Amino acid sequence: MPHFCSARGCANRCTLQTRSRGITFHRFPKECVLRRKWEAAIGRVGFAAGASSRLCSEHFGREDFDRTGQTVRIRDGTVPSVFSFKSHCKKVGAEAVRTRPFVCAAYVSQ
């Protein structure tokens, strides 16, 4: 199944051409607080990341990656910060309404 970047206005898709250009795709973190920061940073109103949601490497700085091994990884605690939103669009903050709830294991009472 092909993966597309979830950031607003980004048309990158996980193909051989994008991989050959050095673009990598990364899953949203499972940790609740960091996941919400990523969702707020991408600038899509009402967006809730699912299991197959990805973000491409063009939305992170060079210092945000760990390239020491064979696999390119995002460093712990990193939030995407490189976006080129159009001037008539406003970046949406964490107050955006979510379309479907994300249940965080930390908040579920036992």
Give 24-81 pLDDT, tens digit per residue.
999 999 999 999 999 988 888 888 999 889 999 988 888 989 988 888 889 998 888 8
Position 21 in a domain = yes
Query: What's the number of domains the chain is made of?
Result: 1
Position 10 in a domain = no
Position 50 in a domain = yes
Residue 99 scores a pLDDT above 90: no
Residue 95 scores a pLDDT above 50: no
Write out the residue range of the structural domain in which residue 59 sits: 16-100+103-107
Residue 25: what pLDDT?
92
Phi, psi (degrees; rounded to nearest 5) at 32:
-55, -50
Phi, psi (degrees; rounded to nearest 5) at 27:
-75, 155
What's the pTM?
0.70
CA distance 47 to 93: 11
Position 5 in a domain = no
Position 40 in a domain = yes
Residue 11: what pLDDT?
86
Give, as one character, the DSSP assignment of residue 16: H
Who wins on pLDDT, 81 or 96? 81
CA distance 65 to 48: 24
Position 11 in a domain = no
Contact 13, 2 (CB under 8 A): yes
Who wins on pLDDT, 86 or 74? 74
